[in-house]
Amino acid sequence: MAIFVSALQQGDYFIYICIFCGLLSVLIMGGNLLVIISIVYFKQLHTPTNYLMLSLAVADLLVGIFTLPFTIILFVTSYSSVQGILCKVRSGLDLILCVTSIWNLCFISVDRYYAVCQPLRYRSEITGRVIGMMILASWTVATAIGGTLTFQSPDIGQSSTMCVLFQNKMLKSLLLGTLFGFCIPAIIMSAIYIKILLVAQRQACKILNMSKSGTTVSRSERKATKTLAIVMGVFMICWVPFFITISFHAVSNYSTPPSVVHSFKMLGWTNSMFNPCVYAFFYRHFRLTFGMVIKGKIFKNDFSNMRL
């Protein structure tokens, strides 16, 4: 009887996971498609900075197209040979796309640093070539990490009916992957956004002393603080629990229950849903283009040269 109840509970867990992954996949694809269509269609958005956002949106879109559907298939399939292949493919794609997304976020923070802290050097330093190198670096680093961890795994398969990528004897590779896939970009992002916030506050104080417009400056400071808090807060909330758990999972002789690892991993996937909101919805021209795309206006007339 206890075994039967346990099986029912596990079945309910799989159902909830499949429903969650399905809804998350749709939301990720919808939000990032809006970003991609807007940047590709409207010529005014063809800027080096927006190409970084385009790269981020493509990586996040592919998470919704491949990673989450493969996860659902792994939960519902009963063929072990299929599970093994899908597990390896899903795990490799998951690593590549998620790490690419993280590094794109890191390079966006670099772009924002030059825009706010070095405005006179921004156009000369952040050129199309530099942006292209950033995008190439994001995908190259992610592919190297994903490929190394995927193909070094000697026996990727099912553990407690869950697809587990990180196996025993992979501690060094896993910790290196965590370092280059999350820790370094997270530290860079944190340092840059703290610097941006300090510079913005210092500039606001100068404006206050010159114009005495206390109300305006106070509102500007609050908006800058709120935006930066959301940027870093969403990123940290989504990814820190997973990388802490997976690191502890490795050093504790893989004692963490797979369900816990997967739960925090799904929390990390939600970052691909929030990215379009955090990095696009704050900009008025993106809100305008999203509305036009959703209403289908771009399919009725040519608005590609429209001033946003």
Give the chain's domains with CATH numbers. Answer: 18-299 (1.20.1070.10)
Residue keyed to tokens 């030059």: 114
> For position 208, what pLDDT does the model report?
63
- Highest-scoring range by mean pLDDT, 4-8, 81-85, 117-121, 235-239: 235-239
Write out the DSSP string of 118-187. Answer: -TTTHHHHS-HHHHHHHHHHHHHHHHHHHHHHHHH-S--EEETTEEE---TT-HHHHHHHHIIIIIHHHH
Residue 2: count of CB within 10 angstroms of its CB: 6
Distances (CA, A) of 218 to 60, 223, 230: 35, 9, 18
3-state secondary structure of 274: helix
Sequence-ordered alpha helix ranges (H) in the chain: 2-41, 48-62, 68-76, 80-117, 122-125, 128-152, 171-178, 184-211, 214-251, 258-269, 271-280, 284-295
- Highest-scoring range by mean pLDDT, 25-29, 122-126, 154-158: 25-29
Distances (CA, A) of 208 to 107, 151, 211, 213, 280: 31, 57, 5, 6, 29
How large is the average pLDDT for residues 66-91? Answer: 77
Return the structure tokens found at 70.
């493969």
Instruction: With cut-offs at 50, 70 and 90, classify the pLDDT of residue 138.
Output: very high
114-125 pLDDT per residue, tens:
888 888 888 888
How large is the average pLDDT for residues 205-223? Answer: 56
Half-sphere exposure for 24 (CA within 13 Å, toward CB): 26
> For position 80, what pLDDT does the model report?
59
> For position 113, what pLDDT does the model report?
87
Instruction: With cut-offs at 50, 70 and 90, classify the pLDDT of residue 154.
Output: low
220-233 pLDDT per residue, tens:
555 555 666 787 88
